[in-house]
Chain A
C-alpha cells in the first residue's frame, strides 16, 4: 500500500566529534593505561546509544595518542556505533606539543570537520599523567588560534599527582575543567561521566533561557556546571590515593 511516509529519510543531522587525546608515555604503563583502556571501551556503547537516539547530531569518535610523538589511532572520525576501542600501550616520552599540532591540523574543514550537513563544535577529552617533554608552548598557542578548538567543550583528567595540572588547565582554558584521579575506581568513574556528559551536551542543540538578554549560551559552562554538580555530590570522592 502506498504511503507518503514510506520513503522518508533520516533527518539531516549534524556531527559532533568526541576526541580522546591520550597520554601513552612510559609512566602510564600498568594500572593507569589498563584502567583507561577498559573504562573507555566500556563507555562506548553508552555514547553510541546517545548518538543513535539523538535527532540533533550523530556522534563520531577520534583518538589521538601521544608518547615519543603523537599518532592518530583513527585515520578519521568513526561513527560511535561502528567504533571499537583498540587497547593502547604505554611507553616513551610525553610529546604533548606534537599532540597539540596534530589536533590543530585535523580540526579543519579540510580534514576531520568536513561534514556536508555541518557539525557542532567538538568535545575534546585529554588524559595525561605527566609533564610535556617537548617544546609545547607555541604548539598550544597555535591550537588556541583554531576556532574549532576555541569553541570545543574541553576537559582534562590528571592521572595521579605527577600530572602537570597547570598545563592541562592551559589546554582546557579553565582550571575547573581539570579533574584529578588518584585511583582506578575514580578514573573509571570520571572517564564515564565526562565522556557521556560532554557527548550529551556537545551533540545537542544548546540550552537556552538562562543567560542575559542576547548573550549566547555556552556549552562549556553547561558542562562545567554538570561536572561541579557531580563533584559536589561526592561522585568522585577518593578513599585511596594510589597514584
Chain B
C-alpha cells in the first residue's frame, strides 16, 4: 500500500494536497495531515484490499461530495484524490481539539459540566441523523468512535462519513455488535435507516446514562465470545429496564452510572428508551421511534431544564406544582410555561425560546427567537424578550392587547397569551 511522507503531492479531482505527516492508521487505511491552498485538512488513504468493492466505494465518495453534507455536524468528504496505482483517498476537515471523542466521555476522561450540555449534544446528534436520513442516506456504522463532542456547549461533529451511502446501497461495512441493530448482528439485513435508528438510540442512551442499554445481570459472563455477542446483541437482546422481564437489570458495583442516573430523567424520556428497546422494537415487530420523534423528545427535555438555587441545572415537571432538584433534591416551584401546539417551555431566566415554539410547522430548535430575563432591580420579576426580528401581539390578563416589538421585553406574570403571527402561545403560571 502507498505510504506517504512529508512533501508528497497528491492530485485531487480539484487541486493538489501536500502531505505533512501521518496522523494515524486503522484497519481501513491511514490518515495524514495535508495542506491545500494554505489550509490544513485530513487526508484518508485506503488500503484498497480492505474495501469489498473499491470502485463502488470511490463512486460513492464522489456521489457524497456532489450531494454535499446534510448538516454542518458531519465531517464530510471535501474532495477525492485521483486513483494512484489502484488506490485512492479523500480529504476532509480536521476535528478541532476542543471536540472530544465520545468514548472519552464513557471512560470519564471527559465529563459534561451540566445536563444542559448533554441534552444539547443529544439534540445535535439526533438532528444530524434526521438531516442525513432526509437526504436519502444511511450512516451504517455508528459507534462510540465516530462522535466528537464539545463538552461545554454540546456541539457535535460526526466523522467516518465515507461509509455513508444512499438507502439500499450497501458498501459491505461491518459494524460493532454492541452498536448494531439485532437484525444486522444476526446478518439478516444490511444496515439501513431503520437499523441506524437502533444505533442512534444506543448512542443517545449512553450519552445520558453512560452504561449500555442491553448489558446487565444476564450479560455478565466470564468470557464474552463472538457466539455470546450474537446472543446478547442479536438473537435474544433484553433491555436492562424491560417492563416485562427483569432478568437483565443493571448490577450494583458494575453498572453504577445507569443505576444512579436513570430515575433522574423525566418519565417521557425513559418511556422513549423503554419503547425503542422493547422486545417488539428490538425484533422489528414494531417500527422504532423516528429521528424526528427523538428530536421532539429532546427539545421537550431541554424545555424543562431550569437552574436550581444550588447552581445546578435540573428538570422540572411542567405538569406538577413542585419538582425536586436532581442535584440537591431541593423543592423547585413550577415556573411560568409557554404552551404552544407541540411544545411547553419553562419560562425561566436564562432559558430561550426557539423557532419551533412559535411556528407550528417548524422543528427548528436552534434558531433563537426570544430569551427569558430577570429584572436587574427586582429579581422576582421575569420578562420575555422578543429577539425574533418581528413584532408579537401580547394579550394581557386584563384583556388589553399590545404590540411587543423586536428587542422589547414583556413582563411574564401579567401576560396571558402571545400571538407570534399565525401561532398563539398561552402563558400558564
Q: Which A residues have a C-beta under 8 Å from some C-beta of B?
A: 1-6, 8-12, 14, 52-56, 109, 113, 115-121, 147-148, 151, 197, 200, 204-219, 226, 229, 232-233, 235
Q: Does B188 contact A (CB under 8 A)?
A: yes
Pick the residue among A3, A52, A210 that contacts B312 (CB under 8 A). Answer: A3
User: Which residue of B is nearest A6, CB measured?
Assistant: B111
Interface string of B372-406 (1 = CB under 8 A from A): 00000000000000000000000000000000000
Given contacts A10-B108, A207-B174, A213-B188, A4 and B261 within 8 Å (CB-CB): yes
Known: A3-B113, A11-B212, A205-B179. 5 other contacts (CB 8 A): A3-B115, A4-B261, A5-B113, A119-B223, A207-B175
In the bound complex, residues from chain A placing their C-beta under 8 Å from that of B47 are 229, 233
- Interchain CA distance A10-B352 in the complex, whole Å: 33
Contact B113 A151 (CB under 8 A): no
Contact A208 B210 (CB under 8 A): no
Pick the residue among A4, A53, A109, A212 that contacts B264 (CB under 8 A). Answer: A4
In the bound complex, residues from chain B placing their C-beta under 8 Å from that of A5 are 111-115, 118
A-contacting 9-mer, from B15-23, B91-99, B225-233, B270-278: B225-233
In the bound complex, residues from chain A placing their C-beta under 8 Å from that of B107 are 10-11, 52-53, 55
- Interchain CA distance A1-B312 in the complex, whole Å: 6
Given contacts A54-B103, A113-B222, A216-B230, A211 and B187 within 8 Å (CB-CB): yes
Which of A56, A208, A233 gathers the greatest number of chain B CB atoms within 10 Å? A208
Q: Does B186 contact A (CB under 8 A)?
A: yes
User: Which residues of chain B (208-230) have a CB below 8 Å from chain A?
Assistant: 210-212, 215, 220-227, 229-230
Contact A206 B226 (CB under 8 A): yes
Given contacts A53-B107, A209-B184, A214 and B235 within 8 Å (CB-CB): yes
Q: Does B425 contact A (CB under 8 A)?
A: no
A-contacting 9-mer, from B31-39, B250-258, B287-295, B333-341: B250-258
In the bound complex, residues from chain B placing their C-beta under 8 Å from that of A233 are 1, 47, 49
Which of B210, B223, B235 gathers the greatest number of chain A CB atoms within 10 Å? B223
Which of B107, B173, B211, B215 gathers the greatest number of chain A CB atoms within 10 Å? B107
Given contacts A3-B312, A8-B108, A208 and B187 within 8 Å (CB-CB): yes
- Interchain CA distance A209-B182 in the complex, whole Å: 10
Contact B254 A12 (CB under 8 A): yes
User: Which residues of chain B (292-345) have a CB below 8 Å from chain A?
Assistant: 308, 310-313, 326-328
In the bound complex, residues from chain A placing their C-beta under 8 Å from that of B106 are 10-11, 55
Contact B327 A4 (CB under 8 A): yes
User: Which residue of A is nearest B228, CB measured?
Assistant: A216
Contact B225 A121 (CB under 8 A): yes
Contact A2 B111 (CB under 8 A): no
Contact A151 B223 (CB under 8 A): yes
Pick the residue among A53, A120, A213, A219 that contacts B187 (CB under 8 A). Answer: A213
Q: Does B176 contact A (CB under 8 A)?
A: yes
Contact B327 A214 (CB under 8 A): no
Pick the residue among A9, A53, A207 that contacts B176 (CB under 8 A). Answer: A207
- Interchain CA distance A148-B211 in the complex, whole Å: 26
Q: Does B191 contact A (CB under 8 A)?
A: yes
Q: Does B178 contact A (CB under 8 A)?
A: yes
Q: Does B50 contact A (CB under 8 A)?
A: yes
In the bound complex, residues from chain B placing their C-beta under 8 Å from that of A10 are 106-108
Q: How many residues of B contact A (CB 8 A)?
A: 67
Contact B229 A206 (CB under 8 A): yes
Given contacts A3-B113, A229-B47, A205 and B211 within 8 Å (CB-CB): no
User: Which residue of B is nearest A53, CB measured?
Assistant: B103
In the bound complex, residues from chain B placing their C-beta under 8 Å from that of A56 are 176, 178
User: Which residues of chain B (130-179) have a CB below 8 Å from chain A?
Assistant: 144, 172-179
In the bound complex, residues from chain B placing their C-beta under 8 Å from that of A115 are 222
In the bound complex, residues from chain B placing their C-beta under 8 Å from that of A116 are 253-254
In the bound complex, residues from chain B placing their C-beta under 8 Å from that of A1 are 310-312
Contact A12 B1 (CB under 8 A): no
**Which 6 A-B pairs give the minimum distances between C-beta atoms?**
A2-B327, A2-B312, A1-B311, A205-B178, A55-B106, A55-B103
CB distance from A67 to the nearest CB of B (A): 30
Which of B104, B144, B179, B257 gathers the greatest number of chain A CB atoms within 10 Å? B257
Contact B49 A210 (CB under 8 A): no
Q: Does B180 contact A (CB under 8 A)?
A: yes
- Interchain CA distance A117-B252 in the complex, whole Å: 12
Given contacts A14-B224, A118-B221, A119-B223, A229 and B49 within 8 Å (CB-CB): yes
In the bound complex, residues from chain B placing their C-beta under 8 Å from that of A216 are 225-227, 229-230
- Interchain CA distance A83-B235 in the complex, whole Å: 38
CB distance from B159 to the nearest CB of A (A): 14
- Interchain CA distance A226-B227 in the complex, whole Å: 21
Which of A2, A11, A121, A209 gathers the greatest number of chain B CB atoms within 10 Å? A209
In the bound complex, residues from chain A placing their C-beta under 8 Å from that of B210 are 8, 11
For this complex, 24 residue pairs linking A to B, each with C-beta atoms less than 8 Å apart, are A2-B310, A2-B311, A2-B328, A4-B115, A4-B260, A4-B312, A5-B113, A9-B108, A53-B103, A115-B222, A118-B222, A120-B224, A121-B223, A151-B223, A200-B27, A205-B176, A205-B233, A206-B226, A207-B174, A207-B176, A211-B187, A212-B187, A214-B186, A219-B226
CB distance from B196 to the nearest CB of A (A): 13
In the bound complex, residues from chain A placing their C-beta under 8 Å from that of B144 are 55
- Interchain CA distance A56-B103 in the complex, whole Å: 9
Contact B313 A3 (CB under 8 A): yes
In the bound complex, residues from chain A placing their C-beta under 8 Å from that of B254 are 12, 116-117
Pick the residue among A3, A200, A209 that contacts B191 (CB under 8 A). Answer: A209
Contact A209 B222 (CB under 8 A): no
In the bound complex, residues from chain A placing their C-beta under 8 Å from that of B234 are 208, 214
